[in-house]
Each structure stands twice: as structure tokens, then as C-alpha cells.
Amino acid sequence: MFNLRFQLVFLSTLFALTSAIAQDSLYTRYGDLLIGKVEKISAEKIYFKTAYRSSAVDIKLTEIAKVSSSEGFLLNDTKNKNWRGELVLDSANHGVVGIRTPDSLYFFDQKEVFELTKDQKKRFKDRFTLGINLGYIRAKTDNTLALSLGLNSRYRTRRWDTRLDYQDYGAAIAAEIVGRTSLDYSLAYILPKEWFVNGKANLFSSTEQRLDIRRTLTAGGGRYLIHREAKVLSFSGGVLSNHEVFTDNPQTFASVEGDLTSHFYGKIGGHVDLTTDWGLFPSFTDRGRVRNTLNLDLKYLFLSHFNVGIHYMLNTDNKPPLETSKRDYVFEVKLGWTLHKR
């Protein structure tokens, strides 16, 4: 009986010690010690889960002296090189992240870090994002107030980046339905030194421009000038095949155009995301025709999965094949939900 009781006590103690060892430790520059699990690491913060809080505590990297984990950490730099080891944060040098390997200690400026995570196998959901948003818009047509629905998804690895986005705006004016619908798919492969090749497909319709359908296919490439988890700036160019059908004419208008685009994404603080996309499409086959698109998106993140924001879209065509409006715009206020926590 005594031996059985001793064995149970011994096993319980061993289990408790093993659980404690398996946990992560975080030391702040103020001398505080937290025991728990690193849930997420961003360019500016660590999200640390403890037993006494239902949600993770977000702590700025500049306030952390040391983080220890039995699993270790993986730092991927902007040259796409992986560094594995213990995470070292020097409170005397703000904006610097260190990785201690078995052989040496390496320090990186935060601008050199693409991604910093725990060194563990990534699952599908770690690379996949899904978002849904609903909103009200003011459109060019008679200053119409309309409803909007948007869906966006993305799957990203360090080499591959693919996206699928859907946006629909609609309203009834008298007996007429006005609206705009777009469906976009893109696929990019990232080469060394942050160059990339990409392909895009787009379907677009607009009652304002009397456009039943525009189908475009694009092939091209570009380069990331900034490519980090919290900030992206890229420029690209390519060739675009354009097929258009207008409401007043069943004929299909085909053209070949250039594709010059820029993309910027950045985080402002820990709760605000800013995205801008600009595209210029000079026609090779219809001399003098130039199309232009501009998208601005600003959103505030709250309650881990939710966001509220504004979106502005401008679409111009200086020489449409038929006599239609040359300019269309939408201003939207929206509420969104994302699968990933912020």
C-alpha cells in the first residue's frame, strides 16, 4: 500500500515538473517573470498565454529581456535564410532581435526579419487566412447608398502566395438594379532577392460603366522593396489580355494592355492596417486608351477576430470602346471578421 502511494506521488510530481519544464518563460526588463506559452510573435510584440488569463498578454519586444522555450525559435530573414535557436532580446538595443545557435549568437535589426515564430511544424491554418465583411457604400450612381459583401482568402508560404477575393455592391434605384461585382485570383512565386513572377485573373462588371463583364488574364513579375510580416511594398509589371462585353452591344471587345501595379501593406501601431493598390493599364492595341484603378483600405482591429474600416475604390477609363461613363468610384464603411486572431 505504501509503495503504491509512493509511486502515485512520485508520478504526480514528475508530471508537474515535466509540465513546468515544457512551458515557456518570459522575463521583462523590469524583472517580472511570466510562465506560460508563446502564442504568437509579431514584428513589435509577443503574445504570451498564461494560466490566469483567458486571452494572451501582448508585450512589446522592447520591454522583454529574455524568452525561453523548450521548442526553440525560428527566424526567417529578408534573404529567406532560416536561423534556429534560443530567442535573445537585448533591452539595451531597441529594435534588435538575437538568435543563439549551438555555435554562436546572431543579432538582426527588425527590418531584416521577415518572420519570427516558434520552431515547430506549421499547419494549414497557420498559413491560411479567411475574411468576411459587410458594409454600406456610397457609389457614383446618383450618390447611391447600397449594401456590400466581401470575401477574401489567402494561402501564403515563404515561396508561394495565392489569393482569392470577391466583392459585390448592389442597390435598387426605382426599378433598376445598380451594382459592381469583382472576382480576383492571383498566384505568385517568390524568387531569390525578393523578385517574383505572378499571374492574375479577374472578372469585373459595373452598371455605372455599362459593363456586363470584363475578363482579364495577366502574366508578369516584379520585386518586393520591403517584404516583412508587418510591412510590404512591391512593384510589378506585365502583359494583360482584356475581353469586354458592354450592356448596349453584344460584341466582345478584345485588347492587349500593359500592367503596371504597386502594392503597399503596413501596420500602424498594433490595431490599424493600411492597404493601397494602384494599377495602370496602357493599351497596346487601342492607341491612346489608358485604364486606371486605385484601392485604399483602412481598418481597425478589435476583439481578436473583428475589424471596422473604410474602403475607397476608383476606376477610370479615358477611352472606353463605347460611349459610357469614364469614371466610377465607391466609398464603403464596413464591418469585418477574420479567421486568424490579430
Q: For the chain, which domains are there?
A: 23-121 (2.30.30), 125-338 (2.40.160.40)
Residue with cell 475604390: 313
Q: What tens digit of pLDDT does each residue of 304-324 get?
A: 789 999 999 999 999 998 888
In one-letter notation, the amino acid at residue 33 is: L
Tell me: pLDDT of 107 over 60. Answer: yes
The percentage of the chain sitting over the pLDDT mark of 70, rounded to a whole number, equals 86
Say whether pLDDT at 261 is over 80: yes
Non-local (6+) Cβ contacts of 73 within 8 A are 41, 67, 84, 85, 86, 87, 99, 116, 117, 118, 119
Instruction: Report the pLDDT averaged over residues 29-41.
Output: 85
What is the tens place of the pLDDT at every residue in 269-315?
Answer: 778 999 999 999 999 999 999 999 999 999 999 887 899 999 999 99
Please return the burial class of 211, using the count of CB atoms within 10 Å of its CB with bins 0-12, 13-18 and 19+: buried
User: Span 45-67, mean pLDDT?
Assistant: 82
Residue 22's pLDDT is 60
> 79-99 pLDDT, tens per residue?
888 899 887 776 566 668 888
